[in-house]
């Protein structure tokens, strides 16, 4: 049993309810009734997720999570409170770096989903810490299991992106980080429900917002794991557009790191030439026409030209 969750609340009935909620899960549940007990547990155990009430005698939940960050920095931190207000939320985010902010009374289904997603986040952070090629590729393949339409996508994107980087004369170290970033560019999708990823049809605005969060989420985890800046840039910025109309920050032109601009082209080409739940793949000719049409809008024109030249010279098999 690798995953341990620590629940902290000064009410015994709340702790008992939480334990019952996860009784059928393969998770080690630990409980504490105050911050002092919680810190003792943290110092002597590997805790994946800490879920703490806010209003407790002595140290508050926000203060506990802030202290816990120093003792167990990789533990994912969640705050529960019956007294939700903007100041509490801001304090929790800024001081305790919380992953989620939950109000009482909670919905059991939503609560369990948040905890399981937090466990995924912890596992990703630990995998990133090892940062060897086998682990990173395995993580990318785990993401693809959630979305069978993308099987092999990360590896193909990496192959395209590295060849572009070679043609641009980027260093071997840069090329290595581009490979890693390509593998991991969609790692944030671990936190996106499979029902949304595999929906056969257009997404609602609310669902689209959940999907768009994957780049920030993945970059946050990569940053916590202290991965190289180029890898983080790819995860965070691969949906930016050259004309500044992308997300998450709306960066424009050369303000978008070159490694992200490279992966955007590689990612789009492979997405177009692969089947997706909402559309069939297009042939190589139509994918090339799309890249040409949107040079200077979606894509860096120089990178598109280099990639199309590589395709023409058959440096990799066209789809």
Q: Are 4-123 and 131-312 equal in CATH topology?
A: no
Q: Where are the domains of the chain?
A: 4-123, 131-312
pLDDT grade for 88, boundaries at 50, 70 and 90:
low
The larger pLDDT score, comparing residue 293 to residue 145, is at: 293
Whole-number Å distance between alpha carbons of 231 and 220: 12
Residue 293 has pLDDT above 60, yes or no: yes
pLDDT in tens, 148-195: 555 678 889 999 999 999 999 999 999 999 999 999 898 887 767 767
Buried b vs exposed e over 79-107: b needs ≥16 C-beta within 10 Å? bbbeeeeeebbebbeeebbbbbbbeeeee
pLDDT tops 80 at residue 305: yes
Quick count: other Cβ atoms within 10 Å of Cβ 223?
A: 16
pLDDT at 214: 85
Percent of the chain having pLDDT more than 70?
85
Q: Are 234 and 266 in contact (CB under 8 A)?
A: no
CATH numeric code, 131-312: 1.10.3210.10
Residue 74 to residue 99: CA distance in whole angstroms: 11
Q: Lowest mean pLDDT of 43-52, 131-140, 161-170, 228-237, name the range.
A: 131-140
Asked whether the predicted pLDDT for residue 291 surpasses 90, the reply is yes
- Largest Cα separation within the chain, whole Å, is 70
Chain segment 92-150, per-residue pLDDT in tens: 555 557 888 888 888 898 899 889 888 988 887 777 776 667 777 777 776 665 555 55
Whether the per-residue pLDDT at 242 is higher than 80: the answer is yes
User: How far apart are alpha carbons 75 and 125 in whole angstroms?
Assistant: 9
How many Cα atoms occupy the beta-carbon half-sphere of 302 within 13 Å? 8
CATH superfamily placement of domain 4-123: Response regulator (3.40.50.2300)
pTM: 0.68
pLDDT score of 59? 87
3-state secondary structure of 192: coil
Cβ pair 38, 77 in contact under 8 A: no
Q: What is the reported pLDDT for 86?
A: 54
Gap between the Cα atoms of 71 and 116, Å rounded? 22
Please name the residue that has the structure tokens 């993945």.
218
| Residue 288, CA distances (Å) to 241, 285, 291, 304 in order | 18, 5, 5, 9
Of 129, 1, 3, nearest in space to 76 by CA = 3
Residue of 124, 99, 103, 109 whose CA lies nearest to 49: 99
């Amino acid at each position: 049993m690798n995953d341990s969750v620590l629940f902290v609340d000064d009410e015994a009935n709340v702790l008992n309810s939480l334990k019952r909620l996860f009784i059928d899960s393969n998770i080690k549940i630990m409980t504490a009734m105050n911050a002092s007990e919680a810190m003792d547990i943290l110092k002597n155990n590997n805790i994946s997720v800490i879920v703490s009430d806010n209003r407790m005698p002595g140290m508050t939940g926000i203060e506990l999570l802030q202290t816990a960050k120093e003792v167990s920095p990789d533990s994912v931190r969640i705050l529960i409170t019956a007294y939700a207000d903007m100041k509490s939320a801001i304090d929790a985010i800024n001081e305790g770096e919380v992953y989620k902010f939950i109000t009482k009374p909670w919905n059991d289904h939503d609560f369990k989903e948040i905890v399981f997603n937090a466990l995924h986040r912890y596992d990703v952070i630990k995998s990133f810490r090892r940062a060897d090629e086998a682990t990173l590729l395995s993580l990318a393949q785990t993401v693809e299991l959630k979305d069978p339409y993308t099987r092999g996508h990360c590896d193909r994107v990496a192959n395209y992106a590295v060849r572009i980087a070679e043609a641009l004369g980027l260093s071997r170290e840069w090329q290595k980080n581009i490979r890693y970033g390509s593998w991991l560019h969609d790692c944030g999708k671990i936190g996106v429900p499979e029902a949304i990823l595999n929906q056969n049809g257009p997404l609602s605005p609310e669902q689209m917002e959940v999907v768009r969060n994957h780049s920030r989420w993945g970059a946050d985890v990569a940053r916590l794991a202290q991965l190289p800046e180029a890898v983080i840039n790819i995860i965070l910025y691969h949906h930016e557009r050259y004309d500044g109309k992308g997300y998450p920050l709306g960066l424009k032109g050369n303000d978008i790191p070159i490694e992200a601009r490279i992966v955007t082209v590689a990612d789009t080409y492979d997405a177009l030439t692969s089947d997706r739940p909402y559309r069939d793949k297009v042939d190589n000719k139509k994918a090339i026409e799309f890249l040409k049409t949107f040079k200077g809008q979606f894509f860096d024109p120089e990178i598109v030209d280099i990639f199309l030249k590589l395709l023409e010279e058959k440096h990799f098999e066209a789809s």
